[in-house]
Amino acid sequence: MAQCDQCGRHEDLPYQCRRCGQTFCAEHRLPENHDCPGLNEWDDPDGVFDSGFDDSVVTDDDDGGVFDSLTATGGVAAYFRGNVAYLVLGLMWVTFALEWATIVLSGIGILPSGSFEFLFVIQSDHLLRAWTWVTSVFAHSPVSFFHIVGNSIVIYFFGPLVEKYVGSKKFAALFIASGVIAGLGHMGAHLVLVQMRMASGSVGALGASGAAFAILGVLTVLNPSLKIYLYFLLPVPIWLFTGAFGLLSVVFFVDSSVAQAAGQGNVAHFAHLAGLAVGLAYGAYVSGQRNVPDQLTFGGGGRGPGGPGGPGGRF
């Protein structure tokens, strides 16, 4: 028995939408009956709805962009439509491998010293390296395996829910935008503290925790009572789960001595808060469009999405 993602009704013979991948009862199985994101992305590859009018007539659907052309049915990247959450996970681990390759090649002299920071770390004194605004989102601390594992757990369990709700393109935009804003926000907070003489020197950061917190923020707004079964046993509402990590980030950012004592002194806590703010704001913007599930089994562990490790701050 499964639960309809639209109305919550339990069905013995549920239907799965081929466009968005969600599960529905007989009443809501048609894409137009559950406001399927695929309706806006449908490109009619077989010409089923060809009206016979002049093909030179341009419609709004003709301006779908590169993403639509690549991920349309039969496209070279058709698999990634509806699976962008897993795509970014894969890119994170590929980037992690490239980080280690860069470190090794730098160590034996094939790449110049500082290549790792140049390629992967957003730094307050090198903000004109605009590529690091994005690469730092996918990169993670090479000295702490938990850093990437912690973020991967959050994105794996929660990312697909948000993607099914808003669609693949908007999920990709949310992930990258929230990660970039989180990184730049951390840089900005550091520069402000420098001006207030509460900090000194430059700071760097890397990691997807800002984007992970944004994902949590979206779900917290859409369904604050969504139950997460920690360790497959302990039911916790997502508002408490998100709020607890948000509160810890506030405490650790305000009092660095507490963060140090908790082993979180080298974490970009303001990046967590910036990402969470983006997620909460975007969740409020899209709320009410469609229902989301009311429970999720989440078997994570450790000290939260940020995790320890990394040069400069990690997020």
Give the pLDDT of residue 44: 44
Domain boundaries, the chain: 1-36, 84-314
pLDDT of residue 63: 46
Judge whether residue 42 has pLDDT over 70: no
* pLDDT above 80 for 16: no
The pLDDT value given to residue 127: 92
| Cβ within 8 Å of residue 119, ≥6 positions away | 102, 131, 132, 135
Among 209, 251, 216, residue whose Cα is nearest residue 237: 216
Lowest mean pLDDT among 8-17, 65-74, 79-88, 97-106: 65-74
pLDDT of residue 242: 93
Bigger pLDDT: 233 or 293? 233
User: Taking the C-alpha atoms of 134, 135, 139 and 141 in order, what is their torsion angle to the nearest 10 degrees?
Assistant: -100
Query: Mind listing the pLDDT tens digit for each residue in 96-111?
Result: 999 999 999 999 999 9
Contact 293, 130 (CB under 8 A): no
Tell the residue number behind the tokens 């369904």, with chain if given.
Answer: 223
The arithmetic mean of pLDDT across residues 87-100, rounded, is 96
Looking at per-residue pLDDT, the higher value among 109 and 60 belongs to 109
Mean pLDDT of the chain: 79
pLDDT for res 48? 38
Helix (H, G, I), strand (E, B) or coil at 99: helix
Span 7-23, average pLDDT: 73
Whether the CB-CB separation of 154 and 305 falls below 8 Å is answered with: yes
| Percentage with pLDDT > 90 across the chain | 45
Question: For position 144, what pLDDT does the model report?
Answer: 83
The whole-number average pLDDT for the span 35-42 is 62
Task: Please name the residue that has the structure tokens 């997620």.
Answer: 279
> 122: part of which helix (H) or strand (E)?
strand 122-123
DSSP structure class, residue 234: E
The most confident of 38-42, 77-81, 265-269, by mean pLDDT: 265-269
The strand ranges marked E within 177-241 are 204-206, 227-230, 234-237
Residue 277 structure tokens: 């703010």
Question: 119-156, pLDDT tens digit by residue?
Answer: 999 999 899 999 999 999 999 999 888 899 999 999 99
Q: Contact at 8 Å (CB) between 175 and 160?
A: no
pLDDT in the model for residue 45: 46
Confidence of residue 95 (pLDDT cuts 50, 70, 90): very high
- CATH: 1.20.1540.10, 3.40.50.150, 3.40.30.10, 1.20.120.1230. Which one for 84-314? 1.20.1540.10
Please state, in angstroms and rounded to a whole number, the distance separating the CA atoms of residues 104 and 33: 54
- Predicted local distance difference test score (pLDDT) of residue 294: 55
Is residue 226 predicted with pLDDT exceeding 70?
yes
pLDDT at residue number 37: 66
Determine the average pLDDT of the residues in 242-257: 90
CA-nearest of 95, 199, 230, 212 to 155 is 212
Query: Kind and range of the H or E element at 279?
Result: helix 269-286
Alpha helices in 108-167 (DSSP H): 115-120, 131-138, 145-166
Question: What does the alpha-carbon distance between residue 292 and residue 310 come to, in Å, rounded to a whole number?
Answer: 35
* Token pair 């599960």: residue: 23
**What pLDDT does 56 receive?**
37
pLDDT tens digits, residue range 294-311? 555 444 333 333 332 333
pLDDT at 168 over 50: yes
Whether the predicted pLDDT of 24 surpasses 50: yes
Q: Which residues, 6+ apart, have CB-to-CB distance to 288 below 8 Å?
A: none
Give tens-digit pLDDT for 253-275.
888 888 888 888 788 889 999 99
